[in-house]
Amino acid sequence: MSEYNRKDHLYQKAKEEGYRSRAAYKLIEVQDAYKIIKSGNSVLDVGAWPGGWTQVALNYVGDSGSVTAIDLQALDPIDDPRCKLIAGDARDLEQILGTNEPSFDVVVSDMSAKLTGIKEADQAAAVGCAELALYVAQQNLKQGGNFLVKVFKGGDVEGFVKSTRPMFNKLLRSELKSTRNTSNEFYVIGLGFKR
């Protein structure tokens, strides 16, 4: 059985509670601790398939908020007028959205690249995903907006964290309880984007 499908506690819980992925609990954990999404916010979810974070974000944005979710892989429909799903590459987001006006209060990215098994290549690809997410945030976040990005230990991740720090009023790093204990991922949380 693949790592993704291992039937651990959160995998079962996600099935029972109707979340599309166990990853949903990571965004819930961040939200409980840092309240990065507020009612009325418009949220951009980058690397969203199968849509666990999208579902969770919808729970927090209230009636007037919205969630735009993009992934290389098309998400199954979510029947909610507050939700917009895009099948595409986050690199092409400006073209896809047709604007370069910053219009999101929150950018969240759980993006990860397909693993090759070659350590150096996988580390470089992981940092590349985090850098792409940061670029997307820089283009799309409103002044004062919040940012959440998954990163992996190794490669030049410390360089990534260091270069991200000045862009936010506060930068935090968090190893989540809901992350599988075999993973070396952690999350970087930027509060208060300085445009």
Ligand X SMILES: C[S@@+](CC[C@H](N)C(=O)[O-])C[C@H]1O[C@@H](n2cnc3c(N)ncnc32)[C@H](O)[C@@H]1O
Number of residues forming the site for ligand X (CB under 6 A): 24
Q: Does 71 bind ligand X (CB under 6 A)?
A: yes
Instruction: Spell out a b/e string for 93-123, using b for 16 or more CB atoms within 10 Å of the CB, else e.
Output: beeebeeeebebbbbbbbbbbeeeeeeeebb
CB-nearer residue toward ligand X: 23 or 106: 23
CB of 81 to ligand X, least distance (A): 21
Binding mask 90-109 for ligand X (x = CB under 6 A): xx------------------
- The residues assigned a catalytic role are 150
| DSSP state letter for 42 | E
The helix or strand, by DSSP H or E, that contains position 163, with its residue range, turns out to be helix 157-164
Among 105, 113, 188, 117, smallest CA distance to 153 is for 188
CB of 193 to ligand X, least distance (A): 21
Choices 20-28, 60-68, 140-148, 162-170; region in contact with ligand X by CB under 6 A: 20-28
| DSSP state letter for 75 | P
Applying CB under 6 A, the residues found at the interface with ligand X are 20-21, 23-24, 47-53, 70-73, 89-91, 110-113, 129, 132
